[in-house]
């Protein structure tokens, strides 16, 4: 930020850019340069095999649900009615709208 240091003259400013959301830069005092966003991210990403780690630990949810054969247990809405009502929900609305979306991933009619 140029305005942070009032003594800084325009002629001494090397780069004038807006720092965009999700972007960063690094001031490297040893090499006396500004390291741009893409270079920082490349250095960090190349330190470890993150892509391999993700592939090794990835779980196929469709296969996993078939292998475990979990069937949904009936939900007892009686204990939640007070909280549900305070947010405008009822047990019936949950059974008709939210439960089908949670179980089957389908939009309620």
For residue 30, the model assigns a pLDDT of: 96
What's the domain range around 75?
71-104
pLDDT by residue (tens digit) across 30-69? 999 999 999 999 999 999 999 999 999 998 888 877 777 6
> In total, how many domains does the chain have?
2
For residue 49, the model assigns a pLDDT of: 94
Name the one residue in this structure whose structure tokens are 């009822």: 90
- The CA distance from 81 to 79, in Å, is 6
Would you say residue 109 lies in a domain? no
Would you say residue 61 lies in a domain? no
Would you say residue 100 lies in a domain? yes
Between 55 and 15, the more confident residue is 55
Cβ-based neighbours of 84, under 8 Å, separated by 6 or more:
77, 90, 91, 94
Segment 79-100 shows an average pLDDT of 77
């Amino acid at each position: 930020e140029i305005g942070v240091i009032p003594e800084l003259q325009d002629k001494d400013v090397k780069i004038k850019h807006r720092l965009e959301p999700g972007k960063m830069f690094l001031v490297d005092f040893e090499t006396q340069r500004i390291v741009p966003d893409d270079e920082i991210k490349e250095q960090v990403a190349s330190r470890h095999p993150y892509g391999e780690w993700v592939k090794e630990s990835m779980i196929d949810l469709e296969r996993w649900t078939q292998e475990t054969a979990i069937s949904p247990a009936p939900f007892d809405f009686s204990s939640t009615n007070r909280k549900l009502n305070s947010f405008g929900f009822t047990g019936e609305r949950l059974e008709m709208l939210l439960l089908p979306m949670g179980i089957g991933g389908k939009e309620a009619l």
